[in-house]
Amino acid sequence: MDKTINQKAWFLVLPVFLVVAFSAVLPLMTVVNYSMQDTFGNNQFFWNGVGWFKELLDPSTDLGGRFLASLGRNLFFSLVILAIEVPLGIVVALSMPRQGWTVAACLVILALPLLIPWNVVGTIWQIFGRPDIGLLGYTLNAMGIEYNYVSNDIDAWVTVIVMDVWHWTSLVALLCYAGLKSIPEAYYQAAQIDGASRWAVFKAIQLPKMNRVLLIAVLLRFMDSFMIYTEPFVVTGGGPGNSTTFVSIELVKIALGQFDLGKAAALSLVYNLIILIVCWVFYTVMTNAGVERKAQAEEEPAAERKPAGALQPAPAPALKPKEGVA
Amino acid sequence: MHSIPGRRVIMALFLIFLLLPIYWLVNMSFKTNSEIVSTMTLWPHTPTLQHYRRIFTDESWYSGYINSLEYVVLNTIISISVALPAAYAFSRYRFLGDKHLFFWLLSNRMAPAAVYALPFFNLYSAIGLFDTPWAVALAHCIFNVPLAVWILEGFVSGVPREIDETAFLDGYSFPRFFIKILVPLIASGIGVAAFFCFMFSWVELLLARTLTSVQAKPIAAIMTRTVSAAGMDWGLLAAAGVLTIIPGALVIWFVRNYIARGFALGRV
């Protein structure tokens, strides 16, 4: 579908532009302003140039050491949860019942963790994991496994990771399920005639059909886990020691805890820049996939083709025009 | 052919994994505090409603729910009403800087809330909105408006362009076309977008907590008060937690048939 060039469309976009600019650009300017200054309280500010940025990227200083350590922990955390949640999400999506009331029931239960306020997610796992009153902690200790997420680094890490898997695997599963639903029945029939194995069907039909939604899932999960704050803050408070202090927790500690505005602002900018770069990669890959898909759809409109590796053109418009339009 | 061997077992195990911690929370909320601390019981032996009663009778507790719902609803209305025309523009027209604008919007969805907490505090204090539902509703627009635009754009693109043209030929003005024809056509899309705005505004705490102090404090922030000199009031905390899950569960029920497609941002 070709779009027409129409500069007046700006009027339609203007409200969004104003609302988001008010919430995004003004605060960001404040951050940039603070990041160049130092303060000794009383609203007196001193020019500090790029001093904070130098300190931030130098691991030998206190600020730099803390930032780089939390960044490392955060990257490791993101990789671990991706490695667990993506395969698990695919398996769960493939295990969805096909029809009947169980489909709706499963969907509702799957979506449930996603709609719980993040600090309540933390509270749930706090209550569930405590060795004295929690089912999980009590059972593990009764089985002879020593488990206490408050005092043991590894236990704290395991708790935070299991909590994230509990909270977000459903998102990956629901996305994959949406991808699987769009596969036409004919593909499976063709595979059956060819005598394809279960694994071949997965590799040649289901995985290629899911790759777009999987891309969305991986990038959303990467970015959201990279910004994680509330859940680990409630459960472990960043401890024991600093072992589960992620970048956002460190940032809030500096900004609202110590009120060290300059340092916090510099950290914010670098943090934002990292997110922005990842976001740009996401956007580019997404739009390229869209363009490719369109080109492919135009190239071979009616030609017969094998399902293998094929990215399908978009399914029929979801909303059929209703009668009585004109 | 569609699904894998042992799928019922896998699904059942996963659902149990999801429900077990929630069950434990519900279980705790019906126990007395002495039962929670003294013994490990799998279900409440002396079930009590005292924690719920306290929440529903103490104004400082239940006002938190009202505050939360207030800014969530405000935010959903603002987000959808500004996002609708923009989604139409992005779907139908090319204009100067459209791709950059779209990327800029998307990048705001991804910006960490922790970065904005402090500047928001300054900004909303300066314009006198601090500690009102409006502050939180506007602050949450930063991630909900881009999301709404994104979802709605997918749905608007699903409406054939011929419909626009026919309507204009029939003499519909643009606003009339928009309200009478387009909006009813993408009603389910608006529902999905509203669901997501509701969801992300409901679960967010960092900004909501930073921008309120007394008058507009959300329930999620009030929950931290259960830590007192006498130790944690676990039962009360659990009851408050259970009550925060209910609105979400209700909303899911209404959009259950669109959840999967909505999570793919209308692009499957």
Which among A94, A182, A216 has the least Cβ separation from residue B4?
A94
- Token pair listed for A254: 């500096």
Which chain A residue lies closest to B198 (C-alpha atoms)?
A115
Q: How many domains does chain A have?
A: 1
CATH at B83:
1.10.3720.10
Q: Do A137 and A235 contact (CB within 8 A), yes or no? A: no
Q: Does position A157 have pLDDT exceeding 70, yes or no?
A: yes
Nearest partner of A20 among B179, B92, B116, B199, judged by Cα: B116
Chain B positions in Cβ-Cβ contact with residue A275 (cut-off 8 Å): 107, 110-112
The answer on B42 and B67 residing in a single domain is: no
Task: Provide the pLDDT for residue B223.
Answer: 77
Indicate whether B145 and B256 sit together in one domain. yes
Chain A residues closer than 8 Å to B17 by CB = 166
Instruction: Give the lowest-confidence range in A130-134, A223-227, B38-42.
Output: B38-42
Integer angstrom CA distances of residue A174 from A35, A300, B83: 41, 30, 25
Q: Which residue, among A42, A40, A62, A38, has the nearest Cα to A51 in the 3D structure?
A: A38
Please report the residues numbered 15 through 74 in chain A whose beta carbons come closer than 8 angstroms to any beta carbon of chain B: 15-17, 19-20, 22-24, 26-28, 30-31
Q: Are B120 and A30 in contact (CB under 8 A)?
A: no
The percent of residues above 70 in pLDDT, for chain B, comes to: 92
Report whether A137 contacts A131 (CB < 8 A): yes
Computed over every residue of chain A, the mean pLDDT equals 79
Tell me which chain A residue has its CA closest to the CA of residue B127: A22
H/E run at residue B228:
strand B227-228
A112 touches chain B (CB under 8 A): yes
DSSP output for A253-276: IIIIIS--HHHHHHHHHHHHHHHH
B96 with A10: Cβ contact below 8 A: yes
Q: Which of B100, B110, B185 to mutate to test the interface with A (most CBs of A within 10 A)?
A: B110
B120 vs A contacts (CB less than 8 Å): 23, 27
Write the DSSP symbol of residue B179.
I
Clarify whether residues B116 and B173 are in a common domain: yes
* pLDDT single digits (tens) A178-214: 888 878 888 888 888 888 888 888 888 888 878 777 8
B53 within a domain of the structure (yes/no): no
> Between chains, do A174 and B8 touch, taking CB under 8 Å as contact?
no
- Give the pLDDT score at A272: 85
pLDDT tens digit string along A161-171? 999 999 999 98
Could you tell me if B71 and B96 lie in one domain? yes
pLDDT tens column, A31-52:
888 787 776 655 666 676 677 7
Domain finish residue from B48, B66, B85:
B48
Expressed as residue numbers, the domain containing B17 is: 1-48
Residue A298 lies in a domain: no
Confidence check: pLDDT of B265 > 50: yes
| B159 and B124 belong to one structural domain | yes
- Report which listed range, A26-35, A225-234, B13-22, is most confident: B13-22
Is B158 domain-assigned?
yes
Clarify whether residues B74 and B10 are in a common domain.
no
What per-residue confidence (pLDDT) applies to B230? 57
Do the Cβ atoms of A48 and A36 come closer than 8 Å? Answer: yes
Rounded to the nearest integer, the mean pLDDT of chain B is 84
A199 lies within 8 A of chain B by CB: no
ipTM here: 0.83
Q: Alpha carbon B71 to chain centroid distance?
A: 11
- Cβ separation of A31 and B119 shorter than 8 Å? yes
Same domain, B230 and B110: yes
Residue A221 near chain B (CB below 8 Å): no
Pair B88, B138 in one domain: yes
pLDDT score for A321? 42
Establish if B112 belongs to a structural domain: yes
Mean pLDDT across A9-35: 84
pTM, full prediction? 0.81
What pLDDT score was predicted for residue A107?
Answer: 87
The CA distance from B176 to the nearest CA of chain A, in Å, is 12
> Number of folded domains in chain B?
2
Residues within 8 A of B (CB atoms), A 284-303 only: none
Tokens read off for B193: 């977008």
In total, the C-beta contacts within 8 angstroms joining chain A to chain B are 328
Q: Is residue A109 part of a domain?
A: yes
Residues B123, B197, single domain; the answer is yes
Kindly determine whether residue B166 and residue A170, on different chains, have CB atoms separated by under 8 Å.
no
B62 and B44 in a common domain: no
Q: Quick: pLDDT tens for B162-192.
A: 888 899 899 898 889 998 989 988 887 888 8
Residue labelled with tokens 């007394």: B214
Residue B268 lies in a domain: no
Does A174 reside within a domain? yes
CA distance A301 to chain B (A): 19
Give a yes or no: residue A178 inside a domain.
yes
Residue B18 has pLDDT above 90, yes or no: yes
Among A103-112, A149-158, A253-262, B228-237, the range scoring the smallest mean pLDDT is B228-237
Q: What is the dihedral of CA B138, B141, B142, B148, to 10 degrees?
A: -170
pLDDT tens-digit map of B47-71: 888 888 888 888 888 888 888 889 9
Which CATH number do you get for residue A135?
Answer: 1.10.3720.10
Report if residue A146 sits inside a domain. yes
* Chain A environment of B86 (Cβ under 8 Å): 12-13, 15-16
- Give CA–CA dist B158/A162, Å, rounded: 38
| Nearest by CB: A325 against B119, B157, B181 | B181
Range of the domain at A148: 84-232
Interface test with chain A among B90, B232, B254, B263, by most A beta carbons within 10 Å = B263
Residue A30 lies in a domain: no
**Residue among B21, B37, B107 minimizing CB distance to A128:** B21
**A108 chain-B contacts, CB cut-off 8 A:** 249, 252-253, 256
Same domain (yes/no): B95, B170: yes
At B19 the pLDDT is 93
- Chain segment B98-155, per-residue pLDDT in tens: 888 888 887 887 778 877 887 888 888 888 888 888 999 999 998 899 888 888 888 8
